[in-house]
A = this chain, B = another copy of it.
Amino acid sequence: MTSFAIGVDLGGTNLRVAAVDTRGVILEKITTGTEVARPRDQVLDEMCVAISGLAAKFGKSKHLAGIGVGIPGIIDMHSGMLHESPNLPGWQDYPVRSELERRLGTKVILENDANSACMGEKWLGAGSESDHLCMLTLGTGVGGGLVLDGKIWHGMTGMAGELGHTTVDPQGPQCGCGNRGCLEQYASATAIKRMAMEAIEIGEAPQLAYAMNRNPEFSAKMVYELAEQGDEPAQQIFRKAGQALGVVLASLVNTFNMRVYVIGGGVSSAWKAFAPTMLEEVQKRSFVYVATNAADLSVANQGNHAPAKTRSSGWPTLITQAQLGSDAGLIGAARLPMLANGVHLPEQEVKTIVK
């Protein structure tokens, strides 16, 4: 009997629940809207109904390996409590894991959403050829995930991988986390929008001002559309985001010396607008990147780099865009119970199927 698992990805705007088989194929996906203002218990109800429905449906012919749930925020892995979650008001200090287990009558693996996405990309996306992966997810906030030796690095209480709160500029904008100048203040959708508003405010961005006035739902996406159309102030904003990403990635490369660093989340679709500056910055700032990439200046941006004058190790560092799109978190969440319960295909077989 083959196995499947259920993965859940609870975002600020969507709740998604899927049945995923051991090859990573999504058998069925249920998507519902979760407005931020929606009551917690209603969201949990819907989640449990969707989980139970998929479990019953696919459980007839397959073995259910388990349930993995990715949620935004800081989770205490010992208690299964959600410590803080700016995007889920009313969930703070709520015992999410035990509440889900009580409702479903079975064990649930609770995980931070960026960690889940990192696991998804590690399994079937940008990190599938490596044992380790470092991921930044650029969404409403900036999340981070670390997979080391095939496992999510949780740290002692599950709060590790908060890479969005790495300091870019100690004197930079105040961050909700208490710090100043966090990566999140430069590279999140919220930050892109804030920087656009600042440019409009000082009268330096007529196109952005026009777009904002025309549309009350002015967003980072619109800033990107203008950047794509060649608007210099909009492009400047993405270069600033790229610069901040480059500063942080340079330090991450010097810290981990991993093979692959992946950028996901909604804002990562603006790759073309921020990646050239980001990679330039890493090249300038990380001697480990330079030493590993001397002869092989990889991915997406070769034109901008003159080959550095150092010796390559033959193991280039890759900084690349996520491959699974918005499904990364869902697929990664489903992968967690498979790993925990030893239900997975041999690597060889998985890779053959995926390609």
Interface residues of A (CB under 8 A from B): 74, 76, 78, 83-84, 93, 144, 146, 148-149, 153-163, 165-170, 177-180, 243, 247, 250-251, 254-259, 284-288, 290-292, 311, 313, 315
Contact = CB atoms under 8 A, between A and B. Distances in A.
Contact of A161 (B153, B255, B291): B255
B257 A155 contact: yes
A170 B167 contact: no
Determine which residue in A154, A170, A243 has the highest number of CB atoms from chain B within 10 A of its CB, and name it. A170
Contacts of A290: 178
Given A179-B286, A257-B160, A285-B179, A247 B167 contact: yes
Contacts of A169: 169-170
26 contacts: A83-B311, A146-B255, A148-B148, A154-B257, A155-B256, A155-B288, A156-B257, A157-B292, A157-B315, A158-B257, A160-B256, A161-B255, A162-B287, A165-B286, A165-B287, A166-B255, A167-B168, A167-B247, A167-B250, A167-B285, A168-B170, A170-B247, A178-B285, A179-B250, A179-B284, A255-B255
B291 A165 contact: no
A262 to B, nearest CB: 15
A53 to B, nearest CB: 35
B291 A162 contact: no
Q: How many identical chains are in the complex?
A: 2
Contacts of A243: 170
Contacts of A149: 149
Q: Closest 10 CB pairs between A and B?
A: A155-B257, A160-B257, A162-B254, A179-B285, A166-B251, A159-B257, A177-B287, A157-B313, A159-B288, A165-B254
Determine which residue in A156, A165, A256, A315 has the highest number of CB atoms from chain B within 10 A of its CB, and name it. A156
A146 B250 CA distance: 17
A179 B250 CA distance: 9
A240 to B, nearest CB: 12
A251 B159 CA distance: 12
A170 B281 CA distance: 10
Contacts of A153: 148, 256
A178 B254 contact: no
Contacts of A168: 167, 170
Given A179-B284, A250-B167, A160 B291 contact: no
A288 B254 CA distance: 22
Contact of A251 (B251, B259, B285, B315): B251
Given A169-B170, A251-B251, A255-B255, A162 B288 contact: yes
A291 B157 CA distance: 10
A177 B153 CA distance: 29
Given A178-B284, A251-B251, A78 B313 contact: yes
Given A247-B167, A315-B157, A287 B257 contact: no
A249 to B, nearest CB: 10
A254 B166 contact: yes
A250 B169 CA distance: 13
